[in-house]
């Protein structure tokens, strides 16, 4: 009754798009804030449109796949799943014999038709994609989900033997109609990809961060990376050296902040559905007042009940006593860049829960998620198994988690 096979873009694209358009990617509640886990009843849901490219979130990896599930004699399209294989850092290890990087699989984009659930389709898709990943040498597989998505959590943790592994926070700030002022005491440098690569390689060694991809240079040079920005005190004289490749960490001032900005509006759009009429009316009223009296600078936000995109801040790092202030300046810069893009409704960042940068990133609690659940499973033995240093069983050795914006 259920057949799982690889996606055929010519044969399957239309059916996949129609099926996925009926699947919510997670519940949302713009009024729940940090208490969103406690609310059992939700009136709103979040949907995603991949703009005609269902492989856009995994295509960057040389090894990637998308599987589809067909049901019944009519071969109705009822499910999809995606995965990619990548090399990432795992932070500091207790054994000096282990490599800096580990080969893992990221499983994402699992969708099952609302009319065909509880038939084991999701289980079959995950089991098949795990076999595909294991055959390509992945030692671990992990996935991410909303903590309120009990169906997804139960599937992976109870039926498929995944364990809760990490819980980064998703911080979101809506885009206003007005530019935010930037402090004249802060100098912001736009780094070319070569300088950004050199700086990140010094700031983020493999032992200091988890999930940093080995192809970071490709990410920083990607067309959707708008730029990498470095904020330093305007009184510093280090700018002429930092924008070149011939510098060391000693050339940096004692306080600085760095951030790269990714434009996801060109690869996907989000849409909030099921909002109460009162919420729609309130936001529409704010936009109307702001349009008629812009001098009041009403904090109106863009229409999130229509398809919208987001800008993603990644690679956030700061140092020194002025680091938080400099990071806030970079966040304001990202917001102002988004103001100029009518398709962007929010600026987001995903960080480790203990990352000190978290406190410096402006965000609205009503639009943020205090816990994005990552679950992991061991697929096969590796060097860490030989030396008794299982990443899955080891406590975190760093507070810094690198979240790849290509997989958002």
pLDDT in tens, 97-116: 556 899 999 999 999 999 99
- What is the Cα–Cα distance from 108 to 78, expressed in whole angstroms? 16
Label residues 172-188 b or e (16+ Cβ within 10 Å = b): bbbbbbeebeeeeebbb
Phi first, then psi, for residue 198 (nearest 5°) are: -65, -40
| Residue 397 clears pLDDT 80, i.e. is over it | yes
Longest dimension (CA), the chain: 72
**CATH superfamily of domain region 2-24+43-167+372-393:** Gcn5-related N-acetyltransferase (GNAT) (3.40.630.30)
Kindly give the pairing relationship between strand 101-112 and strand 140-145. Answer: parallel
Pick from 55-69, 228-242, 337-351: least confident: 228-242
Query: Which CATH class, in words, describes the domain spanning 172-367?
Result: alpha beta
- What is the Cα–Cα distance from 385 to 19, expressed in whole angstroms? 40
Cα separation values, 241 from 247, 252, 253, Å: 6, 9, 11
- What is the Cα–Cα distance from 261 to 315, expressed in whole angstroms? 9
Q: Is-contact 225 321, C-beta < 8 A?
A: no
Kindly give the pairing relationship between strand 309-319 and strand 344-351. Answer: parallel
Mean pLDDT of 123-145: 97
272-323 confidence digits (pLDDT tens): 888 788 878 888 887 788 777 777 777 778 888 899 999 999 999 999 999 9
- What is the Cα–Cα distance from 149 to 171, expressed in whole angstroms? 19
Q: pLDDT value at position 26?
A: 63
78-93 confidence digits (pLDDT tens): 999 999 999 999 987 6
Model pTM?
A: 0.90
Q: What angle do CA 351, 262, 100 make, to 5 degrees?
A: 55
**Residue 284: DSSP 8-state:** H
Domain boundaries, given as residue ranges, for the chain: 2-24+43-167+372-393, 172-367
- What share of the chain in percent tops pLDDT 70? 89
């Amino acid at each position: 009754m259920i057949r799982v096979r690889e996606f055929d873009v010519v044969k399957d694209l239309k059916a996949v798009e129609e099926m996925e358009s009926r699947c919510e990617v997670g519940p949302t509640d713009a009024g729940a804030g940090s208490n969103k886990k406690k609310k059992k009843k939700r009136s709103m849901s979040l949907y995603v449109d991949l703009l005609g490219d269902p492989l856009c979130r995994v295509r960057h990896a040389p090894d990637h796949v998308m599987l589809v599930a067909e049901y019944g004699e009519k071969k109705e399209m009822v499910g999809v799943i995606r995965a990619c294989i990548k090399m990432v850092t795992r932070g500091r290890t207790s054994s000096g014999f282990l490599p800096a990087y580990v080969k893992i699989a990221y499983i994402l984009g699992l969708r099952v038709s609302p009319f065909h659930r509880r038939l084991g389709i999701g289980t079959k898709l995950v089991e098949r994609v795990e076999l595909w990943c294991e055959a390509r040498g992945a030692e671990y597989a992990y996935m991410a989900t909303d903590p309120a998505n009990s169906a997804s959590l139960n599937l992976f943790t109870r039926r498929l033997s995944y364990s809760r592994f990490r819980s980064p926070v998703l911080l979101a700030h809506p885009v206003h109609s007005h530019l935010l002022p930037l402090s004249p005491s802060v100098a912001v440098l736009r780094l070319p990809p070569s300088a950004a690569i050199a700086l990140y390689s010094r700031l983020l060694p493999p032992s200091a961060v988890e999930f940093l991809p080995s192809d970071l240079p490709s990410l920083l040079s990607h067309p959707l990376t708008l730029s990498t920005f470095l904020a330093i005190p305007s009184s510093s004289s280090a700018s002429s050296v930092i924008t070149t490749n011939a510098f060391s960490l000693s050339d940096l001032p004692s306080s600085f902040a760095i951030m790269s900005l990714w434009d996801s509006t060109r690869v996907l759009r989000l849409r909030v559905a099921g909002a109460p009429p009162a919420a729609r009316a309130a936001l529409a009223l704010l936009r109307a007042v702001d349009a008629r009296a812009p001098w009041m600078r009403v904090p109106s936000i863009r229409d999130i009940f229509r398809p919208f995109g987001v800008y993603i801040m990644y690679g956030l790092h700061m140092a020194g006593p002025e680091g938080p202030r400099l990071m806030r300046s970079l966040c304001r810069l990202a917001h102002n860049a988004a103001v100029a893009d009518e398709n962007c409704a929010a600026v987001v960042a995903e960080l480790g829960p203990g990352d000190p940068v978290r406190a410096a990133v402006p965000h609205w609690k009503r639009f943020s998620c205090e816990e994005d659940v990552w679950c992991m499973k061991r697929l096969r033995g590796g060097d860490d198994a030989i030396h008794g240093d299982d990443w899955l069983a080891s406590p975190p050795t760093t507070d810094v988690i690198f979240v790849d914006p290509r997989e958002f």
